[in-house]
Structure 1
Amino acid sequence: MASVVKGFSLLGVDGYVVEVETKTIDSQPMISIVGLGDTAIKEAKERLEAVLNHGDYHFPKMKIVINLAPSDLKKAGTHFDLAMAVGLLMESGQIRPKEIQKYGFIGELSLNAKLRSCVGVLPMVMAAKESGIKNIIVSKENIQEASLVQGMNIFGFSALKEVADFLEGKKEYEIPLELTPKHQEQHLYGLDFNEVQGQDAMIEYIVVAAAGGHNLLMIGAPGCGKSMIAKRIPTVLPSMMEAESLEVTKIYSVAGLLRKRGYLIEDRPFRAPHHNASTNSLIGGGNNALPGEISLSHNGVLFLDEIAEFNKKTLEALRQPMEDRRVTISRVRYTNTYPANFMLVAAMNPCPCGHYGSDRCQCSDYEVIKYRQKISGPILDRMDIQKYVQPVDFLQLSEHTSGRSSAELRERVEFARDIQKTRYASMEAINCNAQMTPSLIKEYCELEADGTKLLRLAYDRFQYSARTFHKFLKVGRTFADMEGSEKIRKKDIAAALMARDLDKEQAGMLVL
């Protein structure tokens, strides 16, 4: 009978249990690892031979077959080393562990039989908990990351010999002195909105965008403060709940981007890829279909500076994730689905030279239209708020007065978010107004009579799409929430209509 040890693998950002089956056969000495493993798994046979010939163990001079079940799912990584080594020691009779099925194993082995840390430990331990496996053996470097999952018994070791002695009951487990309760990893950058001068009107729309989770496009001349404002948006977003923090930390663990293993990411992500980013780096992909920037900004902000300079094909790939709040990456043998619930903030110049509307601009109408057509209508349609950022007057800059602080603005955002949290408490995956479905819009976006009339006039004049019409209702709902109003008032609809500067300009000014 084959020896069976519990290991784990990843499918997207979720883990699942893998049974590592080991069987020795009287035949010509060789080792075969089956079960759709990648190159790193195939190379494990060389590591296993070196490890078992090191120290107190020996490598069996027989034919060895190791199967990673389920065998129809592609697997990747070096974290199967420990499970395969334990299974081979059991099968060859070199160790006789007690209650082996109660344990799960995650760890890479060095040629000197030392345990090394791995990426993706957090989602694998979460999968173990869901499967009823309460005892997990990892390397010492991964103890804190694995301990983020509550209700689990995590055992950390530095060598294979220590693991074997513990499983056989020869040695009691000693809890490391450095192991401490759950930590929080801080990402904030020491930025504050009180450093932004002369942009009070724009900041009001920033607060509304943050309160409702709305996508935002800022258009303005170079140096007017677009990037400065965007980088401070995370400072006014509400704190993440524990479930959201675990989700974000899980994504970063899979991507191998945790700065400190075992530290829970508490602050909302802020990602700002350069405009030469490829489609795969933005959406996700590559040989192992890793998460892209839109997934790394899950529950946070994705900032696309100079959005008109991005490859048009890359921008178009954002359309479906912006609607679905997730992205599916398909390969020949498998499909990975990653969460992508992000707030898109973009900035661009109004024309190629950046000074449209002033005497300094020499761009023709054709050049302006051609430049703006780099961003397609469907992408613009998905931007809830499109606002011009006006240059700051010299006198305002020279006064050196502080604007409203991020803490003050954050209080207003959290007030509106608390209303939304109560409103959508019974709904899964709905946290803010921007995520409302058409049925929720009908239920919660009740207009006063004057507001309905105003929205009808705007709709008749500009011929908005159904999506844009719903965007107005969502933004209007957020304006109403900012003041605790149950119904959407006329002034809320007026403010929502004022949030679409590009729509109005394209309808009236840029017609050749």
Structure 2
Amino acid sequence: MAAIVKSFAISGVDGYLVEVETDTIYGKPSTTIVGLGDTAVKEARERLQASLNCPEFQFPKMKVVINLAPSDIKKSGSHFDLAMAISLLMHSEQLETEQIETFGFIGELSLNSYLRPCSGVLPMVIAARDAGVENIVVPKGNIREASLVTGINVYGFETLQEVCSFLSGETTYEAQESCVESYEEAALLDFDEVQGQDAIIEYIVVAAAGGHNALMIGAPGCGKSMIAKRIPTILPDLSEAEALETTKIYSVAGLLKNRGRLIESRPFRAPHHNASINSLIGGGNNAAPGEISLAHNGVLFLDEIAEFNKKALDSLRQPMEDKKVTVARVKFNNTYPCNFMLVAAMNPCPCGYYGQEKCRCSDYEVLKYRQRISGPIIDRIDIQKYVQPVPFMELSSFTRGSSSVELREQVEAARSFQRQRFAGIDDVHCNAQMTPALVKEYCRLEPEGEKVLKLAFERFEYSARSFHKFLKVARTFADMEESARIRRKDIAAALMARDLEKEQLEMLVV
């Protein structure tokens, strides 16, 4: 009769239960692993034979068959090694233990029977708890990460021999220090270092307060990238649920810098403009998460957005709307969350000095350059502002502007106003996440404001998406002053947030 031991695998950012079934049959000594495992799973047979070739254990001299159930789902990774070894030892009667059904096992075996830490432990332990597993055994290097999950007993060991001694009752487990720590990089950037850009910073604060996408257009060296890199310093802290979800993504991607530490600072991802579609959206042989998922609950900064491949940019359209992306492959697909704030920067023309004497770009070249960003992408960016060069006198004065702490207080006050409004509504934490039904309920206009928006809508034939985005941005402007209603000046400010149409709009709001 086959021995059955519980382990876990990952699909997207979520784990699921895998039963490791081991049996031996008469025949030529060999080891076969079935259940749609990848190369790392298939190679486990060599690691098993080497790790069990020691005085404490003996590898069965029979035909060994190991099945990973469910067998119709593709599995990857080397973390099944420990579960395979335990099930093989139980079947060959080298290990006797009670209540094995209450245990789950995760870990990679070395050739000397040591347990190596592996990636993706956090979502697998969450899956174990949800499946009713009471105890989970992991490598000692993963114990702090596994301990982030409450409601399950976590045991960490260094060798296979220690695990077997514990399961058989020969030794007792000595609890390790597994305190949950938060991981947050030291804040080395501050908005008080930005000089002479108070106008654009005001809109950036509004974007941070409402979670709105933003585009900055300006000449080289005017401070676009400098401002963008400081946006995370004014964003509110992650909630416990957001921190756990963000940490899960980085654990699955193998990018968790400090195992056992919860990510509490919002991610900031800035891919290079030669990034491929797969690197942005996610993909590869294992359908791994891309930059948009790694920026989940944080900021995705696209510097020189006009230099990005047009197809790569257009691939962002659906994820920006759905807040999730499904990476499909022939035999499986993974769904990753991607609720990010898009911040982009670009030059006004190919040379970057449009409107200045040293610009030599023709009108056709300027038009062609700006058309690299498709209309649907522009339509999804709520705030589009020009960034003007800083005058010499302001640079030479070294006068410090508002600090990140001061700006963050404004953002926190507006977010607090929004949290009260959306209390009890799932997956809506800021104005940018409002559904059409919520926009209809919370974005009612005063007659004067409605008149201004109607003139702009009829004159420039905005899309329904743009109409809703104007209302959301206006709602955020009102929240900055804790106004229950959207006033005329809030609508005017929202309309002026799009500098690409600023010249025409100024005539309407005067």
Pairwise TM-score range, normalised by the shorter structure = over 0.9
2:249 pairs, out of 251, 260, 269, with 251
Which residue in 1 is equivalent to 2:104?
A: 104
> What aligned pairs does 1:320-359 form with structure 2 within 5 A after superposition?
320-359=318-357
Which residue in 2 is equivalent to 1:142?
A: 142
**Which whole-Å CA distance do the structure 2 matches of 1:241 and 1:434 have between them?**
17
2:454 pairs, out of 453, 456, 465, with 456
- Structure 1 residue 211, shift from structure 2 partner: 0.3
Which residue in 2 is equivalent to 1:282?
A: 280
Counting matched residue pairs gives: 506
Amino acid of the structure 2 residue aligned with 1:79: H
Which residue in 1 is equivalent to 2:291?
A: 293
**Which whole-Å CA distance do the structure 2 matches of 1:444 and 1:404 have between them?**
31
> What aligned pairs does 1:52-451 form with structure 2 within 5 A after superposition?
52-176=52-176, 179-451=177-449
Residues 4-27 of structure 1, C-alpha deviations (whole Å, 9 max, x = no match)? 000000000000110001111122
Amino acid of the structure 2 residue aligned with 1:295: S
| Greater CA drift, 159-168 or 180-189 | 180-189
Amino acid of the structure 2 residue aligned with 1:162: E
Give the TM-score taking structure 2 as reference length: 0.98
**Which whole-Å CA distance do the structure 2 matches of 1:129 and 1:208 have between them?**
40
SS at match of 2:64: strand
- Structure 2 unmatched ranges of 5 or more: none
- Structure 1 residue 507, shift from structure 2 partner: 9.7
SS at match of 1:422: helix
Conserved 8 A contact 1:8-1:124? yes
Residues 353-376 of structure 1, C-alpha deviations (whole Å, 9 max, x = no match)? 101112121111100000000000
Residues 381-419 of structure 1, C-alpha deviations (whole Å, 9 max, x = no match)? 000000000111100011111100000000110111111
Conserved 8 A contact 2:456-2:505? no
Q: CA RMSD in A?
A: 1.1
Residues 285-321 of structure 1, C-alpha deviations (whole Å, 9 max, x = no match)? 0011111000000000000000000111110100000
- Structure 1 residue 504, shift from structure 2 partner: 4.2
Conserved 8 A contact 1:188-1:267? no
Show structure 1 runs of 4+ deviating over 3 A: 503-508
Question: Is 1:20 paired with 2:20?
Answer: yes
Question: Is 1:482 paired with 2:472?
Answer: no
Which residue in 1 is equivalent to 2:36?
A: 36
Amino acid of the structure 1 residue aligned with 2:161: K
Amino acid of the structure 2 residue aligned with 1:332: V
**Which whole-Å CA distance do the structure 1 matches of 2:339 and 2:416 have between them?**
19
**Which whole-Å CA distance do the structure 1 matches of 2:414 and 2:472 have between them?**
13
**Which whole-Å CA distance do the structure 2 matches of 1:443 and 1:102 have between them?**
49
SS at match of 2:5: strand
Residues 308-352 of structure 1, C-alpha deviations (whole Å, 9 max, x = no match)? 001111101000000000110000110100000000000000000
- Structure 1 residue 31, shift from structure 2 partner: 1.2
**Which whole-Å CA distance do the structure 1 matches of 2:234 and 2:205 have between them?**
8
Which residue in 1 is equivalent to 2:463?
A: 465
Amino acid of the structure 1 residue aligned with 2:188: G
**Which whole-Å CA distance do the structure 2 matches of 1:211 and 1:376 have between them?**
26
Residues 407-435 of structure 1, C-alpha deviations (whole Å, 9 max, x = no match)? 00001101111111111121111111001
Conserved 8 A contact 2:143-2:178? no
Change (3 A) 1:393 1:123: same
**Which whole-Å CA distance do the structure 1 matches of 2:192 and 2:435 have between them?**
35
Amino acid of the structure 1 residue aligned with 2:236: P
Amino acid of the structure 2 residue aligned with 1:335: N
SS at match of 2:274: coil
Amino acid of the structure 2 residue aligned with 1:120: G
Conserved 8 A contact 2:496-2:505? no
Conserved 8 A contact 1:188-1:235? no
Amino acid of the structure 2 residue aligned with 1:338: Y
- Structure 1 residue 194, shift from structure 2 partner: 0.4
- Structure 1 residue 471, shift from structure 2 partner: 0.5
**Which whole-Å CA distance do the structure 2 matches of 1:299 and 1:58 have between them?**
50
- Structure 1 residue 188, shift from structure 2 partner: 4.6
SS at match of 2:325: strand
Conserved 8 A contact 1:2-1:21? yes
- Structure 1 residue 187, shift from structure 2 partner: 2.7
Amino acid of the structure 2 residue aligned with 1:314: A
Conserved 8 A contact 2:147-2:178? no
**Which whole-Å CA distance do the structure 1 matches of 2:366 and 2:55 have between them?**
72
- Structure 1 unmatched ranges of 5 or more: none
Which residue in 1 is equivalent to 2:9?
A: 9
**Which whole-Å CA distance do the structure 2 matches of 1:431 and 1:69 have between them?**
39
**Which whole-Å CA distance do the structure 2 matches of 1:438 and 1:151 have between them?**
38
Residues 420-478 of structure 1, C-alpha deviations (whole Å, 9 max, x = no match)? 11111211111110011111100000101100000011111111111111100000000
Change (3 A) 1:217 1:412: same
Conserved 8 A contact 1:196-1:402? yes
**Which whole-Å CA distance do the structure 2 matches of 1:506 and 1:293 have between them?**
36
Residues 74-112 of structure 1, C-alpha deviations (whole Å, 9 max, x = no match)? 100000000000000001111111110100000000000
**Which whole-Å CA distance do the structure 2 matches of 1:63 and 1:502 have between them?**
71
**Which whole-Å CA distance do the structure 1 matches of 2:51 and 2:397 have between them?**
69
- Structure 1 residue 131, shift from structure 2 partner: 0.8
SS at match of 2:20: strand
Amino acid of the structure 2 residue aligned with 1:110: S
**Which whole-Å CA distance do the structure 1 matches of 2:97 and 2:379 have between them?**
61
SS at match of 2:326: strand
**Which whole-Å CA distance do the structure 2 matches of 1:106 and 1:170 have between them?**
21
SS at match of 2:45: helix
